[in-house]
Amino acid sequence: MELSKNKIKLIKSLDQKKQRLKHQLFVAEGKKVVQELLTSSLECEALFVTKEMELLFENESYAVITELDLKKITSLKSPNGVLALFKIPAAQQVKTEGLIVALDAINDPGNLGTIIRLCDWFGVEQLVCSENTVDCFNSKVVQSTMGSLSRVSIVYLPLAEYLQNTDLSIFCADMEGQNVYQSELPSRGILVMGNEANGVSEEIENLCTDKIMIPRFGKVQETESLNVATATAILLSEFQRKNV
């Protein structure tokens, strides 16, 4: 099958958030990611595979395309023969149980994708994002989630308003906070992680009920901070370890 110019134009347009919102579609690439999403509750709008990948998707409805056409629609430097369009799911209601991760202006798609995977790994079902956090259906985010996107509920909302109206304890990652290894951590609460360059904004920080930090152990303590995804992994591990 040769892709039409209109189809190519549509798929390439989904690189832009406004076009994803307009068409209510996002792109997923690679056999691992696409296979994971196909087994989820997400609805597949179209599946394109090269001849070499047909056997992997023989139970699915797909269109065979050439390597040349794949190169016209991929966002990857080294595409591996599979690209799919999925419908953006309807926004879910915010949950109030368990541990919730809240993100304050996370800009890097790779960081968001990794944090989504971490939520999946540590059993965090709800991820709340400020409206200026990168879109979770950005192709780079989708790629880095490795399928976890379908297992974590992600809600974008005015973060300050949400935190003002919760009865849960709010924990901010802050270098001036209490040592996380010496802290009592509840099974219910909100963990706020801040922007890569600036951390948690002053407005959000003022709404936090608790501040926690990951201590440095190196002899020469000159490292300014940890990557936000790395810090999220450590903090989630501590929350879950103390509530097993």
pLDDT in tens, 122-143: 999 999 999 999 999 999 999 9
Q: How far apart are CA 99 and CA 24, in angstroms?
A: 29
pLDDT category of residue 166 using cuts at 50, 70 and 90: very high
Q: What is the pTM of this model?
A: 0.92
Give the tokens for residue 236.
Answer: 């989630």
* pLDDT tens figures, 208-242: 999 999 988 876 666 667 899 999 999 999 999 87
pLDDT the model gives residue 70:
94
- What is the assigned CATH class of domain 99-241? alpha beta
pLDDT digits (tens, 9 = 90+) for 107-126: 999 999 999 999 999 999 99
Give the integer Cα–Cα distance in Å for 159 and 198.
Answer: 16
pLDDT tens, position by position, 52-87: 999 999 899 999 999 999 999 999 888 889 999 999
**Domains of the chain: which residue ranges?**
5-87, 99-241
Instruction: State which fold the 5-87 domain adopts.
Output: 60s Ribosomal Protein L30; Chain: A; (3.30.1330)
- Is residue 160 within 8 A of residue 181, CB to CB? The reply is no
Q: Do residues 204 and 132 lie in contact, with contact meaning Cβ atoms separated by under 8 Å?
A: no
Residue 219: partners with Cβ closer than 8 Å, 6 or more residues away: none
Q: Quick one: pLDDT at residue 223?
A: 61
Q: Which residue has the higher pLDDT, 244 or 168?
A: 168
126, amino acid identity? Q
